[in-house]
Amino acid sequence: MTPDLIYGAAGLAVFGIGLWGAIALQDRMRRLLGLKLCSVGAGFVLIVGAWREPPAAPDPMPHALVITGIVVMLSATAAALALIRRLHDLEDADDRP
């Protein structure tokens, strides 16, 4: 057993948990968190793909891709959270007489 197998399996498991959260949960913030877990899970897969048995150096390409993915996910999260806040305000205003 090597670290890449262990973390590869963990990454797929995290993606699966996130997938379940994104499609099965109702709470808006929680569904978004599920999506964030998916992105970390996909990050694990790419980083495992970059890992080489020491002392060989890892492949830098997937590392760069994951950094890009992290920033992209933050952008999407920020947009979704803004929608959640605005929608909450509108629904809140409607609930009041």
Partner 1 sequence: MSDALLLFDLLLALAVVAIAAAALLVRDAFAMIVLFVVFGLLSALAWVRLAAPDVALAEAAIGTGLTGALLLKTLHHLRARGMAGWQPGAVAQRPVPRAVAWLNAGLALAVMAGLGVAILGSPLRVTGLEIAVAEAMPLSGVENPVTAVLLNFRAYDTLMEVVVLLSAVIVVWQIERGAGPAPAPSLGPVWQGFARLTLPAAALVGVYVLWAGAEAPGGAFQGGAMLAAIGLMMLLTGLYRPHPDHRGLARLLFVLGTVAFAATALLVAGGGRASFEYPPSYAKTLILLIEALVTISIAVTLTALFHGREPVALKGDLRHDP
Partner 2 sequence: MTGPDWLTLSIILPLFGAVAAFILPRAAAGLGLTTVAATTLCVLMMADQVAALGAVTVPLGGWGAPLGIELRADGLSVAMLALTGMVGLLVSVSAIDAFAGDRTARQRQYFWPLWLLLLSGLNGVYLGTDLFNLYVMIEIIALAAVGLTVLGGTREALRAGLDYVYASILGALLFLLGVGLIYLQLGRLDFAGVIAAPPSAAMTAALAVMFVGLALKTALFPLHVWLPAAHANAAAPASALLSGLVVKGALYIVLRLAGYMPALTEDILTLIGLMGAGAVIWGGIQALRAERLKLLVAWSTVAQIGLIFVALARAGERGLSDSWKAAALLILAHGIAKAAMFLAAGRIKDEIGHDRIRDLDRSPIRPTLAQVTFALAAISLIGLPPSLGFIGKWQLMEGAMMAGYWHWVAITMIGTLFSVAYFSRVLAGFLRFDRVRGGPLAEHHGWSGADAAPLILASAAVLLGLAAGPIIAFIDLGAGGAMP
Judge contact between 4 and 48, C-beta under 8 A.
yes
Site for partner 2 in 51-70 (CB under 8 A): 59, 61-62, 65, 68-69
Tokens 């205003």 — which residue?
A: 93
Residue 97 binding result from partner 2, partner 1, none, given CB thresholds of 5 to 8 Å by partner type: none
Site for partner 1 in 51-80 (CB under 8 A): 51-52, 54, 57-68, 70-79
| Least Cβ distance, residue 34 to partner 2 (angstroms) | 9
Asked if 7 touches partner 1 (CB under 8 A), the answer is yes
Cβ count near 17 (within 10 Å): 14
For residues 63 and 86, give the distance between their C-alpha atoms in angstroms, rounded to a whole number.
35
